[in-house]
Structure formats: C-alpha cells, structure tokens
A and B are shown apart, each in its own frame.
Chain A
Amino acid sequence: MDYVGIVLVSHSPKLVEGLLDIIRQVIHDVPIEIAGGTNEMEIGTSVEKIMSAITAANTGKGVLVFYDLGSAKMNAEVALEMLDSIQVKIIDAPLVEGAYVAAVESNMGKSLDKVYETVIREF
C-alpha cells in the first residue's frame, strides 16, 4: 500500500530526529523524512534539505509538511513552488502532536486531503 508522505521541518536537527523516534515507535510503514537545521547542521532551515525530504517522502500519494517556526514555513513554501510535480501541502498545526496524528492517519491509507483535514480538525 502507498502512503501519504510526511516531512518534518525544524530549525534543529535534534528536534526532528527525536520527533521521528517518537512516531517510529508506533508507525513503521509511512514514509517520514526530516529536514532539520541548515546545510551545515547549524540552527536554521534549508530549502535544499526540505526539497530532498519532500522528494524522498513522496510515493505518489503526496506529502504533508510540518514546520516549527519563522523561516521553516517560508522555506517550505519555496520548496513547494520549486517541486511542482509533487502534490505537497504545508500544514499549520502543532509539530509534535500534528505529525503524530498525521502519521496514524496516513498509516490507514487515507488521501493527502483527508489526512490534512483530520489534522486541521483535531487542533
């Protein structure tokens, strides 16, 4: 089965590594990619990292992008504009709980729109 992919964008690599650990304890099959920190692994965000994460998380059913703050969202939007062949949605939701809910929903085989709606309704 194909799943909606999930991308976790944060200023800190450690933050999203930890979040991925939490989700992976429960959800194993959903593609989840992280884009944490700058290219130099410093605090910040990177368009390139976000673009590779989106590409890697896409299995054809689209990708939902979660972000922490500030430039993370702006860079996610730049990445989305550059990757017009992939169906991508950026979601305004709490990073930790939102991504957890999305992973569970995606694991049920739901579509990108359905996963998105459920997370939005939840918060």
Chain B
Amino acid sequence: MELGVLDIVKWFELSNEKIQQNKDYLTSLDRPIGDGDHGINMARGYQETVNKINTVDYAEPSAVLKDAAMVLLSKVGGASGPLYGTAFLKMSVAVKGMVVLNLRTLTGGLAAALAGIKQRGKSELGEKTMIDIWGPVVDYFTKGEISSAGLMEIVSSALETSKETMATKGRAAYFKEKSIGHLDPGSASSFYIFEALAEVIKEKE
C-alpha cells in the first residue's frame, strides 16, 4: 500500500463528505454531554480544509497535512480545532520529505498525530475522548498488517467500548456518571475520519 498526495487529499474529501452528511448527528451527540456544537464546528472546519487543499498542487503528503492542520486550527472554534489541528500538524512533521507514504511511514504519522492529541488534551486512553478511537487505530497499524475491513472493525468496536466509559476530560467530564452510555462526539467524528481512510486504503487493495 502506498498513499500519495492525491490519496491524502481524497482522505480529507471523503472525511468532509461524511462529516457534512452527519453534521446534525454529531451535534446531537454533543447536546446531552456537551454544548451542542461539534457537528457545526467540524462541518465548518472540514469544508474550509477541502476548499483550501483543492486550490493547491502539492509536492508531498506532508504539505497537504500541514495546510489541513492550519485551517482546522483556525476555523473549527471548539476543542476539536486545536486537537485535530495539532494531530495533523504532528503527522505532517513526521512524514516530511516523503513523496508517498507506505504502511510503516503512515503508521509513524498516525502515531505522531495520536501523541499530539494526548499532549494537547493532556489526556490518555479511556477518558471518553477521540483518543479512544485514535489509540486502537494506532495499535492496529503498529501490528504491521492492515486491511480496510480490519480498520473498520477496529474503529467500530472502539466506538462501542468508549460509549460505556465515563468522561474525565473535555466538556463531557462535567456530566460525570451521566456521560456513561452516551457516544462521545469527538470519537464519532474520528470514526468518520477513519472510515474515510479505510475507503482510501480499499482502493489500493
């Protein structure tokens, strides 16, 4: 498997389509345990990201990731802005200078992104945040063999597991036990992002 500039652009385009389609759903997840803006934040940020990266001819995936990061940082407006922005910025740095990403370098990039989210959010796995999706995904990639179907299995079960945990970070943490049984909005948007990545990878299978 090798992903080039066009594949990474495609990743953001597909993510954007899913986020736009599920904008109201993401917002509805954020209402009971948050401030009800996650779908609005993500739809705005991803649309602007796609608008930006469609106007540039990129030489390498790192440059796409960097532009996406900068747009998300400035346009999202909620916690997910600095979190996803930092994630893609760290990923961009990790894969700098590579014209295509293979499994090993993509894994390195995703691991750097996860480290960025943890650092920015001062959080770890199991706190009912998007890390509950990114963590298992990075573990899966690190095993050294992936498939689009396998990736979908991992993210689906990660989302279910996270649903039953109690939030200890972010707005949802104020709801304590009441957050149990609710899906975390940021984990749901990360689910769409990896569903989109699985579709990009499927094209290569």
Interface residues of A (CB under 8 A from B): 38-40, 42-48, 69-71, 74-75, 77-78
Q: Tell me if B91 counts as interface (CB < 8 A to partner A).
A: no
> For window 30-63 of chain B, which residues contact chain A by CB distance below 8 Å?
35, 37, 41
Contact A47 B73 (CB under 8 A): yes
Contact A78 B85 (CB under 8 A): yes
Nearest CB on B from A15, distance (A): 14
> For window 92-142 of chain B, which residues contact chain A by CB distance below 8 Å?
120-121
Which of B35, B79, B80, B86 gathers most chain A CB within 10 Å?
A: B79
9 more CB-based (< 8 A) A-B contacts, given A44-B37, A47-B73: A44-B41, A44-B78, A47-B74, A47-B81, A71-B78, A71-B79, A71-B80, A71-B81, A74-B79
Contact A70 B171 (CB under 8 A): yes
Set of chain B residues within 8 Å of A39, measured between Cβ atoms: 74-75, 77
Contact A44 B77 (CB under 8 A): yes
Dominant SS at the A interface? loop
Complex Cα gap A44–B171 (Å): 12
Complex Cα gap A85–B55 (Å): 31
Q: Tell me if B4 counts as interface (CB < 8 A to partner A).
A: no
Contact A43 B35 (CB under 8 A): yes
Known contacts: A77-B82, A78-B85. The answer to whether A45 contacts B120 by CB under 8 A is no
Complex Cα gap A38–B120 (Å): 19
Pair count A-B, CB < 8 A: 45
Complex Cα gap A44–B170 (Å): 14
How many residues of chain B get a CB closer than 8 Å to chain A's CBs?
19
Set of chain B residues within 8 Å of A43, measured between Cβ atoms: 35, 37
B74 is contacted by which of A46, A70, A71, A77 (Cβ under 8 Å)?
A: A46
Nearest CB on A from B27, distance (A): 14
Complex Cα gap A2–B77 (Å): 33
Complex Cα gap A70–B41 (Å): 15
B82 is contacted by which of A38, A40, A48, A74 (Cβ under 8 Å)?
A: A74
Set of chain A residues within 8 Å of B64, measured between Cβ atoms: none
B121 is contacted by which of A38, A47, A74 (Cβ under 8 Å)?
A: A74
B81 is contacted by which of A40, A75, A77 (Cβ under 8 Å)?
A: A75
Contact B37 A78 (CB under 8 A): no
Set of chain A residues within 8 Å of B120, measured between Cβ atoms: 74, 77-78
Set of chain B residues within 8 Å of A70, measured between Cβ atoms: 78-79, 170-171
Contact B82 A47 (CB under 8 A): yes
Nearest CB on A from B91, distance (A): 16
Contact A71 B82 (CB under 8 A): yes
Contact B79 A42 (CB under 8 A): no
Complex Cα gap A35–B80 (Å): 18
When C-beta atoms are compared, the residue in chain B nearest to A75 turns out to be B82
Which of A38, A44, A48, A74 gathers most chain B CB within 10 Å?
A: A74
Contact B77 A78 (CB under 8 A): no
Q: Tell me if B196 counts as interface (CB < 8 A to partner A).
A: no
When C-beta atoms are compared, the residue in chain B nearest to A82 turns out to be B73
Known contacts: A43-B37, A46-B74. The answer to whether A78 contacts B86 by CB under 8 A is yes
Q: Tell me if B83 counts as interface (CB < 8 A to partner A).
A: yes
